[in-house]
Amino acid sequence: MAKYHERINWKKEARLLPGYIIVILWCVFTAVMVFWVFGASLSTSREIFSGKVLEFATGFHWENYIAAWKTQNVSVFFANSLLYATVSCAGVLLISAPSAYVLSRWNFTCSRTIRLGLLISMSVPAIMIIMPLYTLAVQWHLKGRILLIALYILMRVPYTTMYLLDFFSTLSRSYEEAAYLDGCPPAQTFWRIMLPLVQPAVVTVTIFNFLSVWNEFFMALIFTSDETMTPVGVGLLQIVNSMKYTGNYGGMFAAVMIVFLPTFLLYIFLSEKIISGVTGGGVKG
Amino acid sequence: MKKNKSLIFWFMLPTVLSLLIMYVYPVIRTVAMSFFKVESLTASLSKWEFNGIDNYIKIFGSNSFRVSMQNMLLIWIVGGLLTLALAMLFAVILTSGIRGKKFFRAAIYMPNIISAVALATMWVQYIFNFDYGLLNNVVDLLGGEKVKWLGTDMKFWAMTISYVFGSVGYYMLIYISGIEGIPADLYEAATLDGASKATQFTKVTLPLMKGILKTSITFWSINAATFFLWSKMFAPIETEESTIVPVIYLYDIVFGGKGITQRDAGAGAAVGVVLTLIIIVIYGVMNLMLKDTDLEY
Amino acid sequence: MKKIIAMLLVFVMVMGLVACGASEPAATTEAAADTKPAASTEAAAEGDKKYEGVTLTMWSMWNSTEPQGQVIAQAAEAFEAETGAHVDIVWKGRDINQVLSASLEAGEKFDIFEDDYKRIALQYADYTYDLTEMAEAVDYNSFSYPCLNDTVIDWVGYLNSIAEQPQVGGIFYDKAAFEAAGITELPTTWDEFMAACEALKTAGIAPLALDATYADFTFYHHLVHQLGEDRIEELALNGGWDQEPGVAAAAQDIIDFVNAGYLVDGAPDEFPSSQNKIGYGLAAMIVCANYVTAEVNNNTQTEVDWGMMSYPAVDGGAANSATYAGANSLAITKYSENPQAAFDFIMMLTTGEFDQMMADTAKQIPADSRNTAPALQDGTVEVLLNSESPMSWCASLHANSDLKDSIKTLCINLYDGKFATGEEFAGAMQALY
């Protein structure tokens, strides 16, 4: 932290100049792209095609957003994604947290196998599991939102369990011993005492689960069969495709912004937490 | 602490069931299906006909599959080199003591956070657009002739480059954490010995990051083998030869893409098994080549 | 810091709940609003309605927001008011073909579905209802396009779908551009066509727009006129492209066409960039199906005055009158419990008032040949009515589904000027085998 108050050492900065140029160019490129798309989302198709996006000669076309939100169904996609992301985040915690705790505390029959199984599951490609799951879903007449939520929960279980397991193993056993002496039953000890103790890890892993479900595409493409249950990713693809027939480019870029913004805003506030989470915990190879 | 059998049982049950339903059963069934003639995913088991390795013979004899494997290989090698080199470059720059490190780090990682569909749409509909796209505006400014970035010649590279853009941030974070894990006194000693920055990088940084490199290459390989979304975004309506990858091929023959009248779930399963084997082989080779010598530092 | 994060997370969760909460009640009140009036009219008119208490489920290939979807929804309302049968519409979107096979096999409960008529005929025939009798009862052939019905019967053995959005292919052109170039008579042979292109070019308008997606379709026209569909199918399945002089000749025609500079800048382009250039007045013609006219007008927000003509005849060609025709059609599931009600609803949708509405709002060819086509589809109804054996969408070229993507790439390269001679192209095609 003290670094920031250091006086500028021009010699040192000059040596770092090539580095600055490279990262600044990269960031400028990213920014231009996002700003242009934002600009396009406020323009008409004609302005976009004639290359006059950032001039706003005919004003700001906020109605593109209204059109995208209402007539292009983005509101439905958005609500679906929020529903999927929040419910599966909660669901996966309910399944994973207790197991992670038990795995971190005791060795029992199969505990090694289960750990290994979790680890391997994390790198099983989706294409290996999707076909039988599709068959099951059709045979059991499972469909709609429930099916997707269930799949998302199951999909995130291995990662979440492994991530939380690491944190539970760092907790001292003295908590449980104290609780045991007070006569608190073990299950309650877990929910009341142990789980709150790993709250930071729970928050981090939930952020990751949220992002991953929000951005999920492959399963959604295969398992959503009608527009009322489509999440944002697949919905956006549909909008992009039908835009080619209807020509509402402004509306399409507005839809892109609407899909882009929630995770982007989340990231602005939580980037430190997210970045430290990427390299900490379960992902470490 | 005393073992509490019923607690263990009830706390573990949901996770074990998830593993069985979501991974164990499907993987076994997919592997089995790859040895049977199965036309439709929903066909009942009684309609499965054992046909040995015919499905594998079929896919390897298929022109589309061969093209898709070539494309995948190019993404893996060229895209991989680009991504990992850029990620390493950024990691080295950001750990060299520049100002605003946190900001740059966050900005470069950002594309990994947002919806890949949105990101791909930005590239396809803006950066690469022929008429008003960013690249062609730059080309125009420099006095060149507009390029058809999404024509059959360039489309594959356009897709690969935008995918690299979207992935670099993640590998950069891994490398940063690797570099920061190397104790500073090693560099001080190297500097005292008169080693240049470049020598320090090849003699100190790289050897100490073997484990991290291995992890990153393995991750990249998995991502390349299961490459799907970007291909779908670059050819959303009809599969094209320039962007087809194995998962797209699988998707088309299992779910029936445009113009495909004969679905073949068995061959799809064979594609899945082949891709998984590739991942396992890469994982094994990585472990052999870059053996963790467990340098103590 | 921790607190802030926790609060943010809570905020996100609450937002989520609010959003879900907000959307769900809205949905239920809507549903309530929908059902109530219907229920009361039902009660009032109970007994005298034909399909009282029947519920039909329809899987649509459109989205509820598209013009086609809106017309279908209106037709469903009218159908309920008239017959008492309620039609549930499930909007599956354009990817419907990816779920249909599996759903039909699994016997999912739906009565009517929409898809391309050829897929309905070739892929789903086992699960579709034989419509022959019901169609005869209403004398369907007299107000539809016999060429489409015959093709279906040819494929399946009986009629298993009813055309909803017929399509016809050919060259679509901007009448104003032709006028500006002084073209008064439409070219009917390749030589006349080349002359017309020269006139357009001299007038400063690029003759032909072409998006890569349609490269194989465009070349297919030329090839079919030269060789006929059967011969192409033989070649596609067994190879021998370099042995057939017609292939090199057709490719050579295209190479000459490209070398003369008759393609618009950027072609073959990424769909829909090139076709839009007609809307911007940069190009005059495109080889496509009739929907291109509505797409271009929509995309560019212009009102191009469209005309349609047949692809020109090729010298010594085997099938110079071949014209593409096809349709999005409606079919009834074999296991539907109310096939007659389903058929009546299909009739309501594809004839009279609602068909006209569909033609007008979605700018399509009417399925009911007694209706009138919207202005920008001028002439299409006549072409369809006169067509005897329609040419299918690149079918014989796609006969080898494993090679079709590679063949398409070669067609794109052909228009991209990558081949110096027709023989070179034929050789490249043969090299795929």
With pLDDT > 90 as the criterion, what percentage of chain A qualifies? 44
- B151–C405 C-beta distance less than 8 A: no
Alpha helices of A42-73 — where are they, by DSSP H?
45-49, 63-66
Mean pLDDT of B47-75: 92
Alpha helices of C262-351 — where are they, by DSSP H?
273-279, 291-300, 339-350
- A275–B173 C-beta distance less than 8 A: yes
Quote ipTM for the complex.
0.87
Dihedral class, residue A231 (left if φ above 0, else alpha if ψ from -120 to 50, else beta): beta
Residue A101 pLDDT > 50:
yes
Q: Are A133 and B26 in contact (CB under 8 A)?
A: yes
Least confident of A14-28, A240-254, C283-297: A240-254
Q: For residues C42 and C55, what is the distance between their CA atoms, to the nearest angstrom?
A: 13
Mean pLDDT of C206-234: 92
**Between 3.40.50.300, 3.40.50.720, 3.40.190.10, 3.40.50.10420, what CATH number should domain C44-167+326-386 receive?**
3.40.190.10
Q: Are C123 and C161 in contact (CB under 8 A)?
A: no
pLDDT digits (tens, 9 = 90+) for C235-255: 999 989 999 999 999 999 999
Residue A103 pLDDT > 90:
yes
With pLDDT > 70 as the criterion, what percentage of chain C qualifies? 89
pLDDT digits (tens, 9 = 90+) for C324-366: 999 999 999 999 999 999 999 999 999 999 999 999 988 889 9
Confidence of residue C196 (pLDDT cuts 50, 70, 90): very high
Chain A interface disruption, residue of B1, B36, B121, most A CBs within 10 A: B121
Mean pLDDT of B172-184: 89
Residue C40 pLDDT > 80:
no
Q: For residues C254 and C246, what is the distance between their CA atoms, to the nearest angstrom?
A: 13
pLDDT digits (tens, 9 = 90+) for C119-132: 899 888 899 999 99
Fold assignment, A74-246: MetI-like fold (1.10.3720)
Determine the pLDDT at residue B2.
Answer: 65
The residue segments making up the domain with residue B187 are 52-289
Give the H or E element holding residue A163.
helix A145-169
Confidence of residue C5 (pLDDT cuts 50, 70, 90): low
Q: Are A128 and B27 in contact (CB under 8 A)?
A: yes
Residue B196 pLDDT > 90:
no
Give chain C positions within 8 Å (CB) of B261. 119, 122-123, 401
Mean pLDDT of C314-329: 87
Please, what is the average pLDDT of chain A? 87
Give chain B positions within 8 Å (CB) of A138. 41-42
Q: For residues B264 and B254, what is the distance between their CA atoms, to the nearest angstrom?
A: 6
CB of B259 within 8 Å of any CB in chain C? yes
Confidence of residue B13 (pLDDT cuts 50, 70, 90): very high
Nearest to A226 among C16, C92, C271 (CB): C92
Residue B12 maps to a domain: no
- Non-local (6+) Cβ contacts of B41 within 8 A are A131, A134, A135, A138, B254, B265, C102
Determine the pLDDT at residue A77.
Answer: 92
Cβ within 8 Å of A, B 126-185: 126-127, 131-132, 134, 137, 170, 173-174, 176-177
Determine the pLDDT at residue A41.
Answer: 92
- C6–A199 C-beta distance less than 8 A: yes
Within 10 A of B267 (CB to CB), how many other CB atoms are there? 27
Q: Are C423 and C354 in contact (CB under 8 A)?
A: no
Longest dimension (CA), chain A: 76
Closest C-chain CA to B254:
C98
Mean pLDDT of A36-51: 86
Give chain A positions within 8 Å (CB) of B273. 128
Residue B17 maps to a domain: no
Q: For residues A49 and A67, what is the distance between their CA atoms, to the nearest angstrom?
A: 19
Residue C24 pLDDT > 70:
no
CB of B241 within 8 Å of any CB in chain C? yes
Least confident of B163-167, B168-172, C19-23: C19-23
Determine the pLDDT at residue C47.
Answer: 53
Residue B127 pLDDT > 60:
yes
Confidence of residue A280 (pLDDT cuts 50, 70, 90): low
For residue C26, the distance in angstroms to the closest alpha carbon of chain A comes to 11
Give the residue among B269, B275, B286, B284 at the shortest CA–CA distance from B55.
Answer: B269
With pLDDT > 90 as the criterion, what percentage of chain C qualifies? 54
Determine the pLDDT at residue A93.
Answer: 95
Mean pLDDT of C28-37: 39
Q: For residues B69 and C154, what is the distance between their CA atoms, to the nearest angstrom?
A: 39
Residue C14 pLDDT > 50:
no
Mean pLDDT of C113-122: 91
- A103–B12 C-beta distance less than 8 A: yes
- B240–C408 C-beta distance less than 8 A: yes
DSSP-assigned letter for residue B20: I
CATH for B176:
1.10.3720.10
With pLDDT > 90 as the criterion, what percentage of chain B qualifies? 52
- A154–B18 C-beta distance less than 8 A: yes
CB of A175 within 8 Å of any CB in chain C? no
Residue A216 pLDDT > 50:
yes
- Better pLDDT: B128 or B256: B128
pLDDT digits (tens, 9 = 90+) for C257-273: 999 999 998 888 878 88
Please, what is the average pLDDT of chain C? 85
Dihedral class, residue B115 (left if φ above 0, else alpha if ψ from -120 to 50, else beta): beta
Number of domains in chain B: 1
- Better pLDDT: A161 or A12: A161
Q: Which chains touch A (3 or more CB pairs under 8 A)?
A: B, C
Determine the pLDDT at residue C48.
Answer: 66
Partner residues linked to C173 by β-bridges: C285, C307
- C19–A270 C-beta distance less than 8 A: no
Mean pLDDT of A42-64: 83
Least confident of A232-241, A274-283, C136-145: A274-283
Domain boundaries, chain A: 2-65, 74-246
Partner residues linked to C141 by β-bridges: none
Residue C381 pLDDT > 50:
yes
Strands C55-60 and C112-116: parallel
pLDDT digits (tens, 9 = 90+) for A112-134: 999 999 989 988 888 899 999 99
Alpha helices of chain B — where are they, by DSSP H?
5-18, 25-33, 54-61, 63-74, 80-94, 101-109, 116-122, 134-141, 155-180, 184-192, 197-200, 206-208, 210-225, 229-234, 246-255, 265-289
Mean pLDDT of B109-132: 90
Confidence of residue B46 (pLDDT cuts 50, 70, 90): confident
**Do C168-325+392-430 and C44-167+326-386 have the same topology in CATH?**
yes
Domain boundaries, chain C: 44-167+326-386, 168-325+392-430
Determine the pLDDT at residue C19.
Answer: 45
With pLDDT > 70 as the criterion, what percentage of chain B qualifies? 95
Determine the pLDDT at residue C113.
Answer: 95
Cβ within 8 Å of A, B 219-248: 219, 222, 225-226, 228-229, 232-233, 236-237, 247
Determine the pLDDT at residue A1.
Answer: 42
**Between 3.40.50.150, 2.30.110.10, 3.40.190.10, 3.40.50.720, what CATH number should domain C168-325+392-430 receive?**
3.40.190.10
Confidence of residue B194 (pLDDT cuts 50, 70, 90): confident
Strands B36-37 and C112-116: unpaired
- C300–A247 C-beta distance less than 8 A: yes
Determine the pLDDT at residue B209.
Answer: 85
Residue B177 maps to a domain: yes
Residue C45 pLDDT > 70:
no
Residue B178 maps to a domain: yes
Residue C36 pLDDT > 80:
no
Q: For residues C414 and C216, what is the distance between their CA atoms, to the nearest angstrom?
A: 10
Strands C325-332 and C112-116: antiparallel
Residue C43 pLDDT > 50:
no
